[in-house]
């Protein structure tokens, strides 16, 4: 016997399914796009908006006027691979074992792109990767890309005028045309233009390798902006290093200005496509550049001073309520950015992510004036003097930097009164109470991630790293820059 209501019931079910699918699709479309722009070795002070008297960064300066700028952002571990692992996993180096350069980020780690993909995003990565641990010029297969689908990347190269990359699933080596930041910027604009017509939002990670040395390879037209005689050297650089620092700063600042142009082109394309109101944009760096400060060799990072650990951070967050552009004093560290990025996109933050969500601060909310952010060096492989080559844990507040070495308190600075960190207050009896309070605060931050701050050898053993007499992982030489393959 036929059911006279069968067709009606079937029709109702079909209508409900269509509405559900449409609703899901609409929610996906309504989520913001994300463009994450990462540069390499760009110190936090090296922009016009941050007050550098030398550098010219007109595009970033304008961007900072239209977004939220964090004055006291620090790199959780101021060196390339550890930072990149931390920004993708939202975790600290002691939690992942990713505290050395050229280490492999295991596929088991849950990463940002995987979270975005699970929530309907298209994902893309363009530029320097430095997380595969096989070889700086080796092909990274798709199953080791941590959730990124569109792929034009290379593990690591700083040969800016002859930079190799791999595209998609092909192991064929290709080369960016001309100066790589410009070529990568052009490709990012093509990706954004294509995705602008998609029904799904996108998460694009643009990884530019500048202004990391070699500095002399910057385009001549940008080096011409910086006559050596006009460059002002910071007061914490010893006089005997001044000439060499000036020579390096010509190329360093030239890379900054050229990269600023490349970034400006991406920002302009987003605006041209009318995507600003539905796109989160993040600009930051993996770490800074010491550039001779405190007598540490030029081209160095890893050390705890602000020139090395401090990074720029600008966030454009579209909101129906409107977000006022401003400078935020509250310090943030790398895992905080990861957690907050997901929150800004309206996504659930996975339990594995260890950073603090500061979305309310972006929206204009208040924060505790003594808030501190954690950063560290777990096992230094830096080619520096012994007194600088220390494992450390550090706490950055809006006013102070406190650094503890394995043997006890090492550095304490009032960063407002002493922005170049030239007056170490450790063991100064007038600041004993402050030092005690900061030590307690640092210990609290370490307890949150289960880090009991042991000697470097203990962590190397825990994570199974075999170390040579030079202090490097045997399969990755850190004491020299490998040569790029030639066309």
Give the C-alpha distances (Å, rounded to integers) separating 172 from 132, 144, 165, 371, 382: 17, 17, 9, 48, 33
Strands 332-333 and 373-377: unpaired
- Looking at residue 470, its pLDDT comes to 42
Query: HSE on the CB side for 16, CA within 13 Å?
Result: 6
Query: HSE on the CB side for 46, CA within 13 Å?
Result: 34
Q: Which segments of the chain have a pLDDT < 50? A: 1-4, 9, 12-13, 15-28, 469-472, 474-482
Environment class of residue 274 by beta-carbon count within 10 Å: exposed (0-12), middle (13-18) or buried (19+)? exposed
**Token pair recorded at residue 102:** 């050229």
CA-CA distance, 163 to 166, in Å (whole number)? 10
- Looking at residue 67, its pLDDT comes to 96
Which residue pairs, CB below 8 angstroms and at least 24 apart, start in 107-112?
107/143, 107/144, 107/146, 109/85, 109/146, 110/350, 110/352, 111/146, 111/147, 112/87, 112/88, 112/147, 112/203, 112/338, 112/341, 112/342
- Looking at residue 478, its pLDDT comes to 35
- Looking at residue 321, its pLDDT comes to 64
Strands 400-405 and 332-333: unpaired
Instruction: Show Cβ contacts of residue 128 under 8 Å, excluding neighbours closer than 6 positions.
Output: 40, 153, 154, 155, 156, 157, 207, 208, 209
- Looking at residue 487, its pLDDT comes to 62
The one-character DSSP state at 108 is: T
- Active centre residues (catalytic): 80, 130
DSSP β-bridge partners for residue 402: 395, 412
pTM of the model: 0.91
Q: What is the DSSP string of 350-403?
A: PTT--S---HHHHTT----TT--EEEEESS----S-TTT---EEEEE-SSEEEE
CATH of 31-364, one of 3.40.720.10, 3.40.50.1820, 1.20.140.10, 3.30.70.2190: 3.40.720.10
Class of domain 374-462: alpha beta
- Looking at residue 61, its pLDDT comes to 98
Residue-range domain boundaries for the chain: 31-364, 374-462
- Looking at residue 484, its pLDDT comes to 56
């Amino acid at each position: 016997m036929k059911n006279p209501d069968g067709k009606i019931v079937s029709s109702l079910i079909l209508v409900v399914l269509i509405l559900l699918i449409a609703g899901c699709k609409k929610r996906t479309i309504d989520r913001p796009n994300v463009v994450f722009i990462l540069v390499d070795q760009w110190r936090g002070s090296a922009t016009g908006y941050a007050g550098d008297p030398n550098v010219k960064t007109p595009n970033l300066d304008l961007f900072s006027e239209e977004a939220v700028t964090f004055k006291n952002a620090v790199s959780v571990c101021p060196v390339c691979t550890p930072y990149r692992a931390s920004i993708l996993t939202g975790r600290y180096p002691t939690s992942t074992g990713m505290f050395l350069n050229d280490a492999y980020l295991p596929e088991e780690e849950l990463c940002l792109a995987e979270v975005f993909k699970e929530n309907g995003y298209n994902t893309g990565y363009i530029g320097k990767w430095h997380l595969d641990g096989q070889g700086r010029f080796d092909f990274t297969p798709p199953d080791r890309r941590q959730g990124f689908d569109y792929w034009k990347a290379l593990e690591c190269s700083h040969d800016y005028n002859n930079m190799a990359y791999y595209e998609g699933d092909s192991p064929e080596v290709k080369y960016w045309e001309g100066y790589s930041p410009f070529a990568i910027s052009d490709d990012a604009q093509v990706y954004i233009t294509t995705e602008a017509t998609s029904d799904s939002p996108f998460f694009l990670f643009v990884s530019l390798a500048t202004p990391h040395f070699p500095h002399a390879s910057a385009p001549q037209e940008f080096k011409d902006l910086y006559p050596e005689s006009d460059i002002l050297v910071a007061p914490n650089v010893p006089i005997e290093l001044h000439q060499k620092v000036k020579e390096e700063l010509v190329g360093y600042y030239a890379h900054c200005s050229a990269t600023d142009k490349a970034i400006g082109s991406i920002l302009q394309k987003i605006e041209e496509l009318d995507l600003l109101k539905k796109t989160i944009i993040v600009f930051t760096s993996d770490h800074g550049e010491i550039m001779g400060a405190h007598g540490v060799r030029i081209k160095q990072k890893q050390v705890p001073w602000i020139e090395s650990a401090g990074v720029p951070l600008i966030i454009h967050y579209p909101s129906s309520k409107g977000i006022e552009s401003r400078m935020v004093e509250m310090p943030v560290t790398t895992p905080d950015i990861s957690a907050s990025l997901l929150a800004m996109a309206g996504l659930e933050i996975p339990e594995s992510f260890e950073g603090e969500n500061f979305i309310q601060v972006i929206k204009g909310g208040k924060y505790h004036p003594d808030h501190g952010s954690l950063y560290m060096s777990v096992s230094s492989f830096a080619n520096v003097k012994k007194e600088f080559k220390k494992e450390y844990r550090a706490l950055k507040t809006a006013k102070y930097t406190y650094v503890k070495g394995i043997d006890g308190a090492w550095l304490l600075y009032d960063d407002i009164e002493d922005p170049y960190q030239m007056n170490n207050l450790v063991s100064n009896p007038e600041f004993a109470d402050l030092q005690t309070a900061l030590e307690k605060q640092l210990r609290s931050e370490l307890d949150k991630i289960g880090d009991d701050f042991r000697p470097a050898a203990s962590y190397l053993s825990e994570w199974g790293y075999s170390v040579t007499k030079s202090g490097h992982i045997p399969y990755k030489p850190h004491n020299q820059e490998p040569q790029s393959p030639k066309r």
